[in-house]
A and B are shown apart, each in its own frame.
Chain A
Amino acid sequence: MNLPILSLVTFLPLAGAVLLIFVHHERKNLLRVLSLAVAIITFIFSLSLYFNFNDQIPDPQFVEKADWLGYGIKYHIGVDGISLFLILLTTLLMPIIILSSWTYIQKRVKEYLIFMLILETGIIGVFVALNLFLFYVFWEAMLIPMYFLIGVWGGPRKIYATLKFVLFTMLGSLLMLVAIFFLYSMYYKATGVYSLNLFDYYGLILNPNIQIWLFLAFALSFAIKVPLFPFHTWLPDAHVEAPTGGSVILAAVLLKMGTYGFLRFALPLFPDAVMKFLPLLAVLSLIGIIYGGLMALIQKDVKSLVAYSSVSHMGLIMLAVFALNTEAIEGAIYQMLNHGLSTGALFLIVGILYERSHTRMISDFGGVSKQMPVFSAFFLICMLSSVGLPGLNGFIGEILCIFGIFKANKLLAILGISTIILAAGYLLWMFQRVMQGPITNEKILSFKDLNKREIVYLVPIVIMMFWMGIYPKPFLRKMDSSVTQLLNRVNKREIYFTQSRKDKDFLLEIEPITTEEKNEQKEDKAR
Chain B
Amino acid sequence: MNNFFALSPILVVVLGALLVLLLDVFLKKENKNYLAYISLIFLVICAFVCIRFWNKNYSYFNGNLFLDNLALFFIFILVLATGFVILLSMKYITFQDVNYGEFYALLLLALSGVAIMLSSIDLLIIFLGLEVLSICSYALAGLKRKDEKSSEAAIKYFLLGSFATAFLVYGLALLYGSSHSTSISSIINFFITESELSIMALIGLALVIIGFGFKIAVVPFHMWTPDVYQGAPTPITAFFSVVPKAVGFIVFLRLFVPYWKNALNTQAIFWILWVICVLTMVVGNLVALRQTNLKRILAYSSIAHAGYLLIAVLAQDNSSLVFYLTVYLFMNIGAFAAVIALSRKGKEYLELEDYAGVGFKYPWIGVTFSIFLLSLAGFPPTGGFLAKFYVFSTAVREGLLPLVIIGVLASLISVFYYLRIIVYMYMREPAREIEIAVENPALFLVLFFCLYGVIQLGIYPRNILVLINQAVSSFF
Contacts and interface: CB of A to CB of B under 8 A. Distances in A.
Interface of A: 68-70, 108, 133, 136-137, 140-141, 143-144, 147-148, 151-152, 158-159, 162-163, 166-167, 170-171, 174-175, 177-178, 181-182, 184-185, 188-189
A174 B395 CA distance: 15
A253 B21 CA distance: 63
Interface in B412-428: 412, 415-416, 419-420, 422-423, 426-428
Main secondary structure, interface of B, reads helix
A163 B416 contact: yes
B419 A147 contact: yes
24 contacts: A69-B386, A69-B462, A108-B360, A136-B380, A137-B380, A140-B380, A140-B385, A141-B380, A144-B374, A151-B423, A162-B423, A163-B419, A167-B415, A174-B409, A174-B411, A174-B412, A177-B389, A177-B408, A178-B408, A181-B392, A181-B395, A184-B393, A185-B396, A188-B397
A266 B353 CA distance: 44
B105 to A, nearest CB: 41
Interface string B185-207: 00000000000000000000000
A167 B416 contact: yes
Q: Sorted from nearest, which 7 A-B pairs have the closest CB atoms?
A: A185-B397, A181-B396, A137-B380, A174-B408, A151-B427, A181-B393, A141-B380
Given A147-B422, A175-B408, A185-B396, 18 more contacts: A69-B461, A69-B462, A137-B381, A141-B379, A144-B374, A148-B426, A151-B427, A152-B426, A159-B427, A162-B423, A162-B427, A163-B416, A166-B419, A174-B409, A177-B408, A178-B396, A178-B401, A184-B397
Contacts of B419: 147, 163, 166
B405 interface: yes
A463 B426 CA distance: 39
B404 interface: yes
A69 B381 CA distance: 13
Nearest to B371: A144
Contacts of B423: 151, 159, 162-163
B359 to A, nearest CB: 9
A20 to B, nearest CB: 13
A103 B426 CA distance: 21
A177 B379 contact: no
Nearest to A141: B380
A112 to B, nearest CB: 12
A69 B426 CA distance: 34
Contacts of B422: 147, 151
A335 to B, nearest CB: 31
A17 B227 CA distance: 42
Which range contains the number of B residues in contact with the other chain? Answer: 20 to 34
A173 to B, nearest CB: 10
A141 B389 CA distance: 14
A108 B357 CA distance: 13
Contact of B412 (A140, A143, A151, A167): A167
A336 to B, nearest CB: 25
Contact of B385 (A137, A170, A175, A178): A137
Contacts of A68: 460
Contacts of A152: 426-427
Nearest to B462: A69
A216 B271 CA distance: 29
Contact of B465 (A70, A144, A175, A177): A70
Nearest to B388: A177
A185 B408 CA distance: 17
A183 to B, nearest CB: 9
Contacts of A182: 396, 401
Contacts of B462: 69-70
A137 B380 CA distance: 5
Given A174-B408, A178-B408, A69 B416 contact: no
A147 B401 CA distance: 30
Contact of A141 (B381, B415, B427, B428): B381
A158 B393 contact: no
